[in-house]
Amino acid sequence: MAHMGDVLVGNHSTWEFDTDSVLIRFERGIRTPKLFHVLGERRVPYEALSEVDLAPGGKRGTVVLRIVPRAGADPLMEVADGQLKEGNDPYRLVLPAERETLADYYATELRSALGPEAAKPAERHLVAAPAPPLSFKAYDGKASFDGSAVSFRWFWTGASSAKWKAGDQTFAVGDLEDVDWRSPEIAGGHLRLLRRDTESQPGEPDKDPASVVFGLGYGLVYESLPFAASVLEAVRAAGAPGGAPPSPAASPVTSAVAAPATETARSVRADPADIAERIRHLGELHEAGLLTNDEFSEKKAELLAEL
């Protein structure tokens, strides 16, 4: 393999080669994708790789050195499931075309370092996910993960009546089987937790208390994807031999009606169309008997104050 400490500097990231791995360090410049800011750096063992590719870049005068992780080796790419845009792929190194010969050298060296299992799915994660605690705001609630449990706190003005009735939720990782992430850049974006003890969950994420749904400005890739990867890593670890057993119960921890108004106010953006939609939703909750006249008037006044 290349000499330890050898470095390739490209657009947005630097690859530092070691005897058994490559350390990818991401720049924090204003043009660097925000996902890379969150990732910071990632150490990728050569045993985690399945392919190495060198090809002309999308921009004229560039070449791209790309490594492809084995299926199941990286929780981030596993949960992304092909939904990442090319510019957000952490395994792409964009270089000036005049460095193609050097890039070809490293591509050859990397190919020689691929292990005998390169074509097979990995039996465990070999690349670390972002570490908890992590949190982000979805359209209908705030998602938090402390390393052992995922919590959803519903927002007054975003959550469906089904979630409202179910109340805020907390799920121990030992009770989860998988994580389903659909990019907010695709219609129907959401984060759904798949539970071990439930054969079927509600079909619509909007009605499933084990899901949060995304929307314009909510559940952004650089917030929700690292979160989902971190949860998936913990779920896989809990399901491995000697992992954490399921908790005695994973149930609503508080009533959604008790959600603090201040949390709700912070979740609302001062966009007239957005606020109008949320007032309409409040009206539906009021008509369904889930809000009293006073509660409806109070929340409507809070939203109008945002304008």
293 contacts: CB under 8 Å, gap ≥ 6: 286
What are 100's two structure tokens? 């193609």
Task: Indicate if the pLDDT at residue 159 is higher than 70.
Answer: yes
pLDDT of residue 226: 98
pLDDT of residue 285: 75
Task: Indicate if the pLDDT at residue 272 is higher than 90.
Answer: no
pLDDT of residue 168: 97
261 contacts: CB under 8 Å, gap ≥ 6: 156, 298, 299, 302
Mean pLDDT of the residues in the chain = 86
pLDDT of residue 255: 33
pLDDT of residue 295: 75
Class of domain 7-113: mainly beta
Q: Are 47 and 56 a contacting pair, CB within 8 Å?
A: no
pLDDT of residue 260: 37
- pLDDT bracket for residue 160 (50, 70, 90): very high
The separation between the first and the last C-alpha atoms of the chain, rounded to the nearest angstrom, is 60
CB neighbour class for 152 (10 Å; exposed up to 12, middle 13-18, buried from 19): buried
Strands 21-26, 169-172: pairing is: unpaired
Residue-wise pLDDT for 277-297, tens only, equals 677 777 777 777 767 887 778
Query: Which residue type, as a one-letter code, is found at position 193?
Result: L
Task: Indicate if the pLDDT at residue 252 is higher than 50.
Answer: no
pTM above 0.85, yes or no: no
What are 93's two structure tokens? 């190194």
Mean pLDDT for 61-81 is 97
- The residue to which tokens 């008997």 are assigned: 289
Class of domain 134-256: mainly beta
Residue-wise pLDDT for 23-38, tens only, equals 999 999 899 999 999 9
Bridge partners of residue 11, in order along the sequence: 94
Question: Can you point out the beta strands (E) in 18-107?
Answer: 21-26, 41-45, 49-56, 62-69, 92-96
Q: Are 278 and 306 a contacting pair, CB within 8 Å?
A: no
Lowest mean pLDDT among 38-42, 51-55, 177-181, 257-261: 257-261
pLDDT of residue 262: 37
